[in-house]
Amino acid sequence: MEQRAHFSKKLEDLKVMVLRMAALSESAIHKAIRAYLENDADLAESVIVGDEVINEMEDEIDNFSLELLALDQPMAVDLRTIIGAQRITVNLERLGDEAVNLAHRAIFLSTRPPMPHNPKMEDLANTVKMMLSEALKAYVDEDVNLAGQVCRMDDKADDLTIAILRQMVSDMVAESRIVERGVHAIIGARHLERVGDLSTNVAETVVFVVEGTNMKHNCRG
């Protein structure tokens, strides 16, 4: 009984570690999006600098998870909890990378005249921010229904990305002097779309942890 209580405490510690990393990754995404939309190079630089802490946390969680797997030999739901934490951590690290990628786009665009206002880009940014927030809430609450909602939101993010791509190509054809900036804007939209994909991965992992169902690539739509 005492051994079980000790193991349960370790699982709680693992979740707390994942949530700490999640807070950093989400903050990085929010800052990077703001830097990208507002051409704020200083804010973008802070995102790039902060990524090292996220990478270190991934290593820490990975080591702790491996220790739990090796020493405690968990079964069933406990095993899924640990594997789920590892999967989510991988996606959180990748989210940090996407924040850095978006920050680099922001730094470049800050050295050029501003692009025309693009409401669809803001809509995409808000959509993927919501997806990430809801995916993390689903993880905290072990809410499979909320996880499913995140998966369904991915279609909207994909549609917005395609609409942005088409609009940017049309604008570049009409006005050749914005081609360089337009290409970077398109790449930025792809980074935002990737944030939505990674948030969906987190949501799929929630379903796996709670229900034992592997929803990878299957909870969209």
Domains of the chain: residue spans and CATH: 1-211 (1.20.58.220)
CA distance 51 to 24: 9
The reported pLDDT for the residue numbered 81 is: 94
Question: What is the distance between the alpha carbons of residues 5 and 72, in angstroms, rounded to a whole number?
Answer: 12
Backbone angles phi, psi at 20, to 5 degrees: -65, -45
Specify whether the CB–CB gap between 188 and 115 falls below 8 A. Answer: no
**What phi, psi does 175 have (nearest 5°)?**
-140, 95
Q: What is the pLDDT of residue 217?
A: 53
pLDDT of 11 reads 92
Q: What pLDDT score was predicted for residue 1? A: 62
Q: Is the dihedral of CA 162, 165, 168, 174 positive or negative?
A: negative
Q: What are phi and psi of 75, to 5 degrees?
A: -125, 160
Query: Rounded to an integer, what distance in angstroms lies between the CA atom of residue 99 and that of residue 105?
Result: 10
Dist CA 159 CA 102 (whole Å):
20
Q: Look up tokens 């944030």; give the residue.
A: 195
In degrees, rounded to 5, the angle at the alpha carbon of residue 100 between the alpha carbons of residues 95 and 101 is: 95
Q: Which residues contact 197 (CB under 8 A, 6 or more apart)?
A: 154, 157
Give, in order, the Cα–Cα distances in Å from 18 to each of 15, 35, 111, 125, 139. 5, 25, 36, 24, 10
CA-CA distances (angstroms) from residue 206 to 99, 146, 180, 218? 23, 10, 40, 13
What one-letter code names the amino acid at 116? P
Inter-residue contact 29 to 195 (CB < 8 Å): yes
Question: pLDDT at position 221, please?
Answer: 44
Place of tokens 């997806």: 131
Spell out the per-residue pLDDT of the chain, length 221, in tens.
676 777 889 999 999 999 999 999 999 999 999 999 999 999 999 999 999 999 999 999 999 999 998 877 778 889 999 999 999 999 999 999 999 999 999 999 999 998 888 899 999 999 999 999 999 999 999 999 999 999 999 999 999 999 999 999 999 999 989 999 999 999 999 999 999 999 999 999 999 999 988 766 556 54
Sign of the C-alpha dihedral computed for residues 130, 197, 219 and 23 taken in this order: negative
* Token pair listed for 71: 């020493």
pLDDT of residue 215: 67
